[in-house]
Amino acid sequence: MSLALHLPALQVVIPLVSAPLAVLFRRAGPAFLIVTAASWAAFATAIALWLKTGDGATISYAIGSWQPPWGIEYRVDRLSSFVLLIVSGMAALTLPYSRASIEREIPREQHYLFYAMFALCLTGLLGITITGDAFNIFVFLEISSLSSYVLIALGRDRRALMAAYQYLVMGTIGATFIVIGIGLLYLITGTLNLADMAGRLAQVGGTRPVLAALAFLTVGISLKLALYPLHQWLPNAYTYAPSAVSAFLAATATKVSVYVLIRFYYSVFGESLVFAKLPLPQIMLLLSVAAMFAASAVAIFQHDLKRLFAYSSVAQIGYITLGLSFDSVTGLTASIVHLFNHAVTKGALFLLIGGAVAVVGGATLSRLSGLARVMPLTSFGIVLGGLSLIGVPGTAGFISKWYLVLAALEKGQWWLAMAIVASSLLAVAYVWRFVEVAYFREPRADLATRREAPLALLVPAWILVGATVYFGLETSVSVGSAANAAAMLLGIGK
């Protein structure tokens, strides 16, 4: 049997195996090499899978040759391969970065544990995305969640413990809701395989237990994806986690949760059930708009750049869920493409901030004053990333905004189109806080001799900054995949 047939299994197995290996060596150097190599292998696998699903094909892989629906099935289609690409790509960039970055943040004897946890987190996120089994989703969700609690708690600031604990409580509540939802579905359908479940649910229709399952899953997943107002865990987690962890989680964790939501809505329940039986689109729309405005407004008044961009993440997640609430091809395309664009943009921003933290010792705005004088490349990168958050043409963020506004206008909702563009003006306000601090103030006296961040931190960050601009001008990968995935989910075309 050729290796290519087993790509779906390898996608998860390689990072999974790298975690215990890293622990066995008990040393930072080998652990780093193993996990980084595993993440690159995972990225290569994801690219291969993405290419294989290019023609709209779905790859089904039976784990241990136990045929679905009895065994666990891995299922790769246009949407999951696209999310796999985002997750593994971010890991492949963040890991090389983390080596220099955690040097300053985590005691050296704990480094190998960091890499092991990182590998497990990556495994979990990839597993959630690739699996076609409802309970398996829960298992991988727990793997990724537990490892991310540890990763966050590794932060240098003691408040990281509190943040991790808060995330643990909220995350556990979310996971409980999710497992109750899955349990209900299992009771109703007697299967855990998602495709099988979808077929059986179609016969049951919108009975009350099905709706209850839908409600439990929606709330549980919304907690994990930080839908406003269930986002309370996010700002602290992103602020106090080690820089590399902030970047990786900001770019991937909430995105994978959005993926799970889309998967359940469109591939399991079916859009007719979700959007017709419950006032879900209305609720989703309301909460999304609230996120876009409230979280952006809160971001404007933050004193810590990491926290500022964490709140901005909550707002940006609002754009993603807003796209879902339209229940149209354009809206869904907007959601999926923003999933990607925001991952790239936020990843870039948090990596750059990590570099700044490493050099100036903190991310509070008062510490960052005059940053442009000390670290011109980092500052300029943050500005470019900020422009993408605003949605300036020529950046990835513009593409998302274009599709969102178009989706709103297609529905004839002028006020929503205006709300989208108005909320992006709030982004101008919080991005410009950084600009004015970095470019108009003098650097603090103790920072005058500091220099630009080391290349090990700057190069991965600027690769993502470059991607932010690239995907604003050339979108055959991002929009192409998103549009195909949206058409597939809504059963249009192929």
Partner 1 sequence: MTGNALILAALAIPLLGGIGIALCARRANLREAVTLVTSVLLFICVASLLPAVLAGARPQAHLLEPLPGLPVAFEVEPLGMLFALIASGLWIVNSIYSIGYMRGNKEAHQTRFYVCFALALTSAIGIAFAANLITLFLFYEALTLVTYPLVTHHGTAEAKRGGRVYLALLLGTSMLFLLPAIVFTWHVAGTTEFRPGGILPAQLAPATLAVLLALFMFGIGKAALMPFHRWLPAAMVAPTPVSALLHAVAVVKAGVFSVVKILVYVFGLTALDGNTDWLVAVASFTIVAASVVALRADNLKRRLAYSTVSQLSYVVLATALLAPLSVAGAVFHIAAHALGKITLFFAAGSIYTAAHKTEVSQLDGIGRRMPWTMGAFAIGALSMIGLPPAAGFVSKWYMLSGAMAEAHWGAVAVIVGSTLLNAGYFLPIVHRAFFRAPRPEDASHTHGEAPLPIVIALTLTAVGTVALFFAPEVPLALAQRMLVTP
Contact 458, 355 (CB under 8 A): yes
Minimum CB–partner distance for residue 31 and partner 1 (Å): 41
Residue with smaller CB distance to partner 1, 39 or 478:
478
Out of 20, 205, 393, 491, the residue judged to bind partner 1 by CB under 8 A: 393
Out of 41, 432, 452, 487, the residue judged to bind partner 1 by CB under 8 A: 432
Residue with smaller CB distance to partner 1, 153 or 426:
426
Minimum CB–partner distance for residue 57 and partner 1 (Å): 22
Binding string, 112-141, against partner 1, x = CB under 8 A? ------------------------------
Q: What is the total count of residues that contact partner 1 (CB under 8 A)?
A: 30
The Cα–Cα gap between 255 and 235 comes to 16
Regarding 310 and contact with partner 1 (CB under 8 A), the answer is no
Residue with smaller CB distance to partner 1, 354 or 391:
391
Regarding 345 and contact with partner 1 (CB under 8 A), the answer is no
Local structure of 76: helix, strand or coil? strand
Regarding 475 and contact with partner 1 (CB under 8 A), the answer is yes
Regarding 380 and contact with partner 1 (CB under 8 A), the answer is no
Residue with smaller CB distance to partner 1, 38 or 389:
389
Ranges within 408-427 binding partner 1 (CB under 8 A): 409-410, 414, 417-418, 421-422, 424-425
Position 156, amino acid:
R
Burial of residue 232 (CB within 10 Å: 0-12, 13-18, 19+) is middle
Out of 139, 278, 406, 459, the residue judged to bind partner 1 by CB under 8 A: 406
Residues whose CB falls within 8 Å of the CB of residue 326, separated by 6 or more in sequence, listed in order: 281, 332, 334, 407, 408, 410, 411
Minimum CB–partner distance for residue 425 and partner 1 (Å): 6
Contact 356, 439 (CB under 8 A): no
Q: Which helix (H) or strand (E) holds 29?
A: helix 28-52
Local structure of 394: helix, strand or coil? coil
Regarding 402 and contact with partner 1 (CB under 8 A), the answer is yes
The Cα–Cα gap between 335 and 324 comes to 6
Residue with smaller CB distance to partner 1, 468 or 475:
475
The interaxial angle of helices 414-440 and 280-290, nearest 10 deg, is: 30
Contact 488, 79 (CB under 8 A): yes
The Cα–Cα gap between 93 and 85 comes to 12
Minimum CB–partner distance for residue 13 and partner 1 (Å): 37
Residue with smaller CB distance to partner 1, 165 or 293:
293
Out of 10, 86, 479, 489, the residue judged to bind partner 1 by CB under 8 A: 479
Residue with smaller CB distance to partner 1, 238 or 471:
471
Minimum CB–partner distance for residue 460 and partner 1 (Å): 24
The Cα–Cα gap between 373 and 283 comes to 46
Q: Which of 430, 419, 418, 434 is nearest to 389 (CA)?
A: 430
Minimum CB–partner distance for residue 389 and partner 1 (Å): 13
Out of 473, 491, 493, 494, the residue judged to bind partner 1 by CB under 8 A: 473
Other residues' Cβ atoms within 10 Å of the Cβ of residue 304 = 19
Q: Which of 477, 479, 292, 466 is nearest to 384 (CA)?
A: 466
Residue with smaller CB distance to partner 1, 231 or 401:
401
Minimum CB–partner distance for residue 485 and partner 1 (Å): 15
Q: b/e map of 108-121 (b: 16 or more CB within 10 Å)?
A: eeebbbbbbbbbbb
Minimum CB–partner distance for residue 166 and partner 1 (Å): 35
The Cα–Cα gap between 267 and 321 comes to 17
Minimum CB–partner distance for residue 463 and partner 1 (Å): 20
Out of 280, 399, 465, 485, the residue judged to bind partner 1 by CB under 8 A: 399
Regarding 387 and contact with partner 1 (CB under 8 A), the answer is yes
Q: Which helix (H) or strand (E) holds 487?
A: helix 478-489
CA distances from 100 to 23, 75, 213, 246 (A): 20, 36, 45, 15
Q: Which residues bind partner 1 (CB under 8 A)?
A: 387, 390-394, 399, 401-402, 405-406, 409-410, 414, 417-418, 421-422, 424-425, 428, 432, 436, 439-440, 472-475, 479
